[in-house]
Amino acid sequence: MSNHELLPADVLRRKAVVYVRQSTQTQVQVNLESNRRQYDLVQEARRRGFQRVEVIDDDLGRSASGTVERPGFDRLVAWLCAGEVGAVLCSDASRLARNGRDWHHLLERCGLVEACVIDMDGVYKPCRPNDRLLLGMKGSIGEFMPTGQGKTWTAHRVSSLRRVRNIHAYKPAEGDGEWLTMSQAATKLGVTNHRIRSLIKQGLLTA
């Protein structure tokens, strides 16, 4: 994962897709600042060099848990399969899906066509094992977060958690900042210590 890496010309020749979503109609009406930040990602895509940027906001007010249809998400996957997308932008990568089936299907499609996933934390390339692992951890946490209470997973939080739990499989691209205890990590992520341990034991956080 990187926040400053230049994107390849082949990626920039394709279009960037900004995916905008809120889980409920109440969130759409109340979380106006969140809506604004999501639409502002159009400018982020242009700043990174994309000439063509499209917004998918069909899924505003629709849960990503897999229990309701998401025409916007289906359109995004179709564009990825057609090789038309160079990058998918969203405020938090876990916003793309809250269920494992959709999440891993999306990552697989991105990896096959070498499309990037870009959120507030940086640029992820699902074709790279380390980035795919980090995204997988984001997706696992997002799946088990109650609607509206998800917390952003930064590279530092993930790498800190892995060090505290003595998980060596992932070598983080960025490791600046002081390390967190398990309690501090749980507090920052908005979950309990028990939840984090449970996810690791169940294999939902890849170790």
The strand pairing partners of 89, in sequence order, are 18, 118
Name residue 18's beta-bridge partners.
55, 89
Q: How far apart are CA 152 and CA 37, in angstroms?
A: 14
C-alpha closest to that of 14 among 42, 49, 39, 38 = 49
User: Which token pair is 25?
Assistant: 């109609």
Rounded to whole angstroms, how far apart are CA atoms 168 and 103? 24
Catalytic member of 2, 23, 160, 198? 23
Does residue 26 contact residue 60 with C-beta atoms inside 8 Å? Answer: no
23 assigned to active site: yes
User: What does the alpha-carbon distance between residue 35 and residue 189 come to, in Å, rounded to a whole number?
Assistant: 22
CA 57 centroid distance within chain: 16
Residues forming the active site: 23
